[in-house]
Amino acid sequence: MSASETTSFEQRRRQPLLNEEYYLFCDDHVRTHTLTDIEHALLHNNLSDEMRWLEYRRKADALYETMSRDYTAGQPIDALRERFGVIVQAYQDAARFNRIFENEPATPLFDFSYRDDYVRVVELISLPILLHREDLMAAVHSLFKGGGPDENDALVEDLLGKYLPNRPYLEHSHQPEPYGILLDATAPTPMEEKQEDIGLFLQAWYPCMRGVGWYDSHKRQSPRGAGGYFGYWAFDAAAVAYLYDVDDRPFRDHWLYPKDLADFARSMPRSIV
């Protein structure tokens, strides 16, 4: 690999933590092996309901993490925008077969009391906002609609309420650290307070992720794909900044803040209820 190619990747990537050899291996391996193996498993008629929903969830997570890794590597936002619908559909497939396995039509795909799940669902709500895929918001909501988490978390309801009608106003958060800080930025406070709240949230976000499966995964990257790193992004901070017209200049260069996604969101007209 030439020095110019390495420099090009280093210039293009959105987080300097991403290793090029690791990225290239993951890009090839997920597409040619992981997803192929999952689809092959799903073709078996004798696959148990439990294994079927687990394979669909594995597929959805692989697609999401690949998209996030591509974003981290500097792929164009327009291309990621088109892919997001496929990811949401994969999560819907996982939810459908999870409900078949549980024999319960309102079983939520995510348990908000687990930080891994909560982070993922907030990401899945924030990305349609930033990518202007508002058409997918009801589909994302369907992943936990009617279950225990539905209408039971303040930040989730605040974000959904901009796109879906008749959402409740709540104050409770399943993950108050750090999401209670971001929730403060949605209150009717002066601009300076909102900026401070989002800045504090960005400072608190990564330390509060200790214990999730992908925490510190950037330290475990190898040329053969080990590690599980796909980028660390506070998509929710950008979604709140966009929805509440927060001037993001004080924190836009924070390493967790997806500033170009915030800019992309602002480049198109809003579509909210």
Whether pLDDT at 111 is above 70: yes
**Residue 4: which pLDDT band, with cuts at 50, 70 and 90?**
very low
Report pLDDT for 221.
94
Residue-averaged pLDDT of the chain: 94
**Residue 259: which pLDDT band, with cuts at 50, 70 and 90?**
very high
- Domains of the chain, CATH where assigned: 3-266 (1.10.3920.10)
Residue 74 near residue 14, CB atoms below 8 Å: yes
Whether pLDDT at 125 is above 70: yes
Predicted TM-score (pTM) of the model is 0.94
Residues 147-198: pLDDT tens digits?
999 999 999 999 999 999 999 999 999 999 999 999 999 999 999 999 999 9
Report pLDDT for 212.
95
**Residue 273: which pLDDT band, with cuts at 50, 70 and 90?**
low
Report pLDDT for 139.
98
Whether pLDDT at 48 is above 60: yes
Report pLDDT for 98.
96
Mean pLDDT of 11-28: 94
Whether pLDDT at 7 is above 90: no
Mean pLDDT of 111-130: 97
Whether pLDDT at 5 is above 80: no
Whether pLDDT at 257 is above 60: yes
Residues 52-84: pLDDT tens digits?
999 999 999 999 999 999 999 999 999 999 899
